[in-house]
Amino acid sequence: MALVEGKVAIVTGGTRGIGFTIAREFLKNGAKVALAGSREETVNEALAKLAEEGLADNVMGIAPKLTDPESVKEAFDAVVARFGRIDVLCNNAGISSRTPLVDYTLDEFEKVMDLNVNAVFVCTQAAVRIMIEQGEGGAVINTSSMVGKHGQPSGSAYPTSKFAVNGLTLSLARELAPHRIRVNAVAPGVTHTDMVDALPDSVIKPLIASIPLGRMGEPEDIANAYLFLASDMADYISGAVLPVDGLSRP
Ligand code: NAD
pLDDT in tens, 75-123: 999 999 999 999 999 999 999 999 999 999 999 999 999 999 999 999 9
pLDDT value of residue 176: 99
Q: How much distance in Å is there from the Cα of 105 to the middle of ligand 1? A: 21
pLDDT value of residue 203: 86
Closest atom of ligand 1 to 67 CA is 19
**What does the alpha-carbon distance between residue 76 and residue 72 come to, in Å, rounded to a whole number?**
6
List the domains of the chain with CATH numbers. 8-192+219-244 (3.40.50.720)
Residue 118 CA from chain centroid, whole number:
13
**E strands in the chain:** 8-12, 32-36, 59-62, 88-91, 138-143, 181-188, 241-244
Measured in degrees and rounded to the nearest 5, phi and psi for residue 209 equal -60, -25
pLDDT tens-digit profile of 184-216? 999 999 999 987 888 888 988 888 999 999 999
Q: How much distance in Å is there from the Cα of 135 to the middle of ligand 1? A: 31
User: Exposure string (b/e) for 195-222, b if CB count within 10 Å is 16 or more?
Assistant: ebeeeeeeeeeeebeebeeeebbebebb
Closest atom of ligand 1 to 217 CA is 40
Q: How much distance in Å is there from the Cα of 17 to the middle of ligand 1? A: 7
Measured in degrees and rounded to the nearest 5, phi and psi for residue 217 equal -75, 150
pLDDT value of residue 182: 99
Contact call for residues 66 and 143 (beta carbons, < 8 A) = no
Closest atom of ligand 1 to 14 CA is 9
- The yes-or-no verdict on residue 249 having pLDDT over 80 is no
pLDDT tens-digit profile of 131-167? 999 999 999 999 999 999 999 999 999 999 999 999 9
Ligand 1 pocket (Cβ < 6 Å) reads 13, 15-19, 37-38, 66, 92-96, 115, 143, 145, 188, 190-191, 193-196
Mean per-residue pLDDT for 49-78?
Answer: 98
Active-site pick, 104, 158, 226, 236: 158
- Smallest CA separation from ligand 1 atom 3, residue: 17
Torsion of CA 156, 167, 25, 11, to 10 degrees: -80
Active site residue 104: no
Task: Give 228's pLDDT tier (boundaries 50, 70, 90).
Answer: very high
Q: How much distance in Å is there from the Cα of 90 to the middle of ligand 1? A: 12
Average pLDDT, the chain: 97
